[in-house]
Amino acid sequence: GQQVMQIPQYQHVQEGEDFTTYCNSSTTLSNIQWYKQRPGGHPVFLIQLVKSGEVKKQKRLTFQFGEAKKNSSLHITATQTTDVGTYFCAGPASNFGNEKLTFGTGTRLTIIP
Amino acid sequence: DTAVSQTPKYLVTQMGNDKSIKCEQNLGHDTMYWYKQDSKKFLKIMFSYNNKELIINETVPNRFSPKSPDKAHLNLHINSLELGDSAVYFCASSPIPRKSYEQYFGPGTRLTVT
């Protein structure tokens, strides 16, 4: 079945350093979504990418969708303590629309103040 | 106003018991989901309903039975609870099926089976 892997599994950074998480799908995706889950919280939608090679920015966050639409990345510039949490990518299952998302394994980000 | 709400937030129970978790969304969405998040934070879909109709049923033991009385509510009943059922269960909703729209998650129900 479809697998969505993320690396790294954990990342500890000093506040102010940059952070990147990479997402790789075993199948081509029609789109990819990113979610953030704060410790003790629930996943919150961040963004969706649809086009091959698409790049979107949200303040210090930069999201990229690969040319082959099988991988994606999230880069955070100059991390802050508010960035702490687990970041998930998610893509629709190939035989479904977005009613069935396969979530990535997640990258847990901790910030050292 | 809470968009997706779940009750209870915490549930501690013994093996063999039966329990229910309730979910309600006030977003007017057509599609609702149940997810299970284990201790390693892996998030897996269990069920999906669209307008009260079951459209996704992953390989979940039949001890788990979802029920959608109307499109704003999706409940999850679990029979004969086992230790391995301990997890956080999230309800979610999304606006339109077969479209690329985000999912809105509830706060989660932390189930502990002892």
- Answer for the pair A101, A40: CB distance below 8 angstroms, yes or no: no
Residues of chain A with a CB closer than 8 angstroms to some CB in chain B: 30-31, 33, 37, 41-45, 48, 50, 86, 88, 92, 96-103, 105-106, 108
pLDDT tops 80 at residue B1: no
The reply to whether residue A106 touches residue B43, judged by beta carbons under 8 angstroms, is yes
The reply to whether residue B50 touches residue A99, judged by beta carbons under 8 angstroms, is yes
Q: What is the pLDDT averaged over residues A15-19? A: 98
* Of A8-17, A75-84, B38-47, the least confident: B38-47
Q: What pLDDT shows up at residue A98? A: 64
Residue holding tokens 């509830």?
B106
Q: What pLDDT shows up at residue A97? A: 64
Distances (CA, A) of A85 to A39, A72, A97: 6, 18, 27
Using alpha carbons, select from A102, A69, A100 the residue that is nearest to residue B54: A100
Show Cβ contacts of residue A87 under 8 Å, excluding neighbours closer than 6 positions. A6, A21, A34, A35, A36, A37, A74, A106, A107, A109
Q: What pLDDT shows up at residue B50? A: 87
Average pLDDT taken over every residue of chain A: 94
Task: Using CA coordinates, name the residue in chain B closest to A43.
Answer: B105
The reply to whether residue A43 touches residue B90, judged by beta carbons under 8 angstroms, is yes
Q: What pLDDT shows up at residue B90? A: 98
How confident is residue A67, by pLDDT bands cut at 50, 70 and 90?
Answer: very high
Q: What is the pLDDT averaged over residues B37-56? A: 90
Instruction: Give the mutation candidate from B27, B41, B58 for the A interface (greatest A CB count, under 10 A).
Output: B41
pLDDT tops 80 at residue A95: no
Q: What pLDDT shows up at residue A94? A: 67
